[in-house]
A = this chain, B = another copy of it.
Amino acid sequence: MPTNILSKEQYLEDRNNLIEADRSLRRDRASIQARSALEAEADEIIRRIRTEEATSIWRAEHPDIPHPFPGMEFLTGKQVIEETRIFEILSRMPKGALLHIHIGATVNTRTLLALALQQPAIHIRVPQLLSVENISSVLPEFMSLPTGSYNLDGESVSSNEYLPNTWVNAARARERFDPSLGGPEGFDRWIVNAMTLTPLEAYGTHNTVTKRLVHFLPIFKQYLRIFLLASVDDGISYVEVRMDFYFAKDLISADGKRTVTHREVLELFDATVNEVKGELVRENRGHKFLGARIIYTAFRALDPKDLYYYVDDCLNLKKEFPHIIAGAAILDRLSKRSLNQTEPGFDLVGNEDELRPLIDYIEPLLYFRKRQAQESVEIPFLFHAGETLGDGNLTDDNMYDALLLGTRRIGHGFSLVKHPKLLQACRERNILLEVCPISNEVLRLTSSMPTHPLPTIINHGVPVALCSDGPSVFGNMGLTYDFFQLLVSSEITGLSTLGVLARDSIQFSMMLTDEKQIALEIWEAEWSEFLQFIVAHYKQ
């Protein structure tokens, strides 16, 4: 960048060179240079529609949404997003793999409720009489009762005769829900609201009402099936779910009488995945779904000495089910402590002071690595780290440990851009960030997409896969919403960038090499079909 060029032509040439150099680290560069005329045309179309809709949709009047803009707070702007053609188009995009999602928050809450109501074992209780005034603040509690303890003819939780804190069959409670509270539909609204974050609640504490339902084995199986099928419908061909084995111990058998072993959970998982595969093959959609694996996850409130049990458990399960265990995310959801203290995360359990950084667990983690080496078993680390606004706090520092422990991906890495050496390490060592834009925004790490660090991460050449994190809570089912938010967050980013992220999600998954190969070939064919669809329908 010399300072004494004086001709305009020379200046403009230097300018183009500088812009190109500045963008040279982006992972979409090679792919843009090599892209087909078809992809270039589809990209142009998407850019045009994005620009048009910035005015035609986002500057139009929307009742109850003052001042909408592309990339605005998701829970408030969601209905506007759904009006756009960009959203309609992206819903058809082949999205590759979903690499970061917590098993307890995967399925639409209305669907989960419907599943629960089919189970006579599922009961409900409330701590006080329900009224029009308190219904939006009283949270229901669910439980699968053992056969023999069912209460199939109790009063509904809305009845004046209801004795607070007694269990009533959920379907019956719904059926007889008081008309003044909306009857059965009022019951559904109440439960769904209690399981979902609303814009107002996003700033406050949220109690997960869903856990007891998901943990009842007959529901769990259907729930998993629905999650996998819904993912396929959104263009996702492979998933890795984080399953927290601290909570998995709460799984309850069909008869409600005993907890379920970890082996049984994995067997059930395996059977369900195979069932879904078979179902899709029969519908001639076999190529749309390549499978699912579990990321073994332990809870961050554990005393470090208790982690040894989980480490050994994970190792044993991996040896027995090598095709199911994708990796280990020993600690999880550490980061919410770093949010403004007024805005706790949505599923923190336990006292804040009990939550620990990775460094506290360094001994069991080094032991884990040693045992893997001894047993010739490889269980890649896939740590959460840097899901924080801090710069030098414990959650931020977790990224140093994740890297030193050889993490293959980083869950979130929201604060990564603050750290020049870590940025460089992720780029050079090909460590992918599982970025969850909507989750981050709803949990108030950022106030809108234009202020999210994702464009910075992409410009610095760090591999990224978009993930939904906890869609049943945030309302971002599938990956279409998250891809939408990315597309409106940067004018450099276009359709080819989205394609690169989808490809990388496959490349950085824990599939085996030949599985990846097949997944990529299928993806390329679907991508090509997708581009043709865009050009056929939206060319002017």
Does A184 sit at the interface, judged by CB under 8 A? no
When distances are taken between beta carbons in the complex, the residues of chain B under 8 Å from A400 are 15, 18-19, 22
Interface membership of A491, Cβ < 8 A: yes
B420:A459 contact, CB within 8 angstroms: yes
Q: Name the B residues within 8 Å of A59 (CB-CB).
A: 341
Stretch from A96-104, A173-181, A256-264, A365-373 at the B interface: A365-373
Is A342 touching B67 in the complex (CB atoms < 8 A)?
yes
Interface residues of A in 350-393 (CB under 8 A from B): 359, 362-363, 366, 369-370, 373, 389-393
Give a binary string over A92-132; 1 marks a CB under 8 Å from any B CB, 0 the rest: 00000000000000000000000000000000000000000
| Interface segment out of the listed A27-35, A449-457, A468-476 | A449-457
Number of interface residues of A (CB under 8 A): 70
Tell me the A407-462 residues at the B interface (CB within 8 Å).
417-422, 425, 429, 445-448, 450-451, 455-456, 459-461
A489 at the interface (CB under 8 A from B): yes
A405 proximity list for chain B (CB < 8 A): 3
Which residues of B sit under 8 angstroms from A536, Cβ to Cβ? Answer: none
Given contacts A447-B451, A450-B390, contact A366 B6 (CB under 8 A): yes
Instruction: Judge whether B419 and A366 touch: CB under 8 Å.
Output: no
In the complex, the answer to whether A11 meets B366 with C-beta atoms within 8 Å is: yes
A492 within 8 A of B: yes
A389/B450 in contact, CB under 8 A: yes
Q: With the chains together, A341 CA to B66 CA distance in Å?
A: 12
Are B363's CB and A8's CB within 8 A? yes
Binding site for B on A (CB under 8 A): 1, 3-8, 11-12, 14-15, 18-19, 21-22, 24-25, 59, 66-67, 69, 72, 340-343, 359, 362-363, 366, 369-370, 373, 389-393, 396-397, 400-401, 403-406, 417-422, 425, 429, 445-448, 450-451, 455-456, 459-461, 489-493
List, sorted by A's number, 15 A–B pairs whose CB atoms are closer than 8 Å: A1-B406, A5-B366, A6-B366, A8-B366, A11-B362, A14-B404, A15-B404, A22-B421, A72-B340, A391-B491, A392-B490, A392-B491, A417-B417, A417-B456, A447-B447
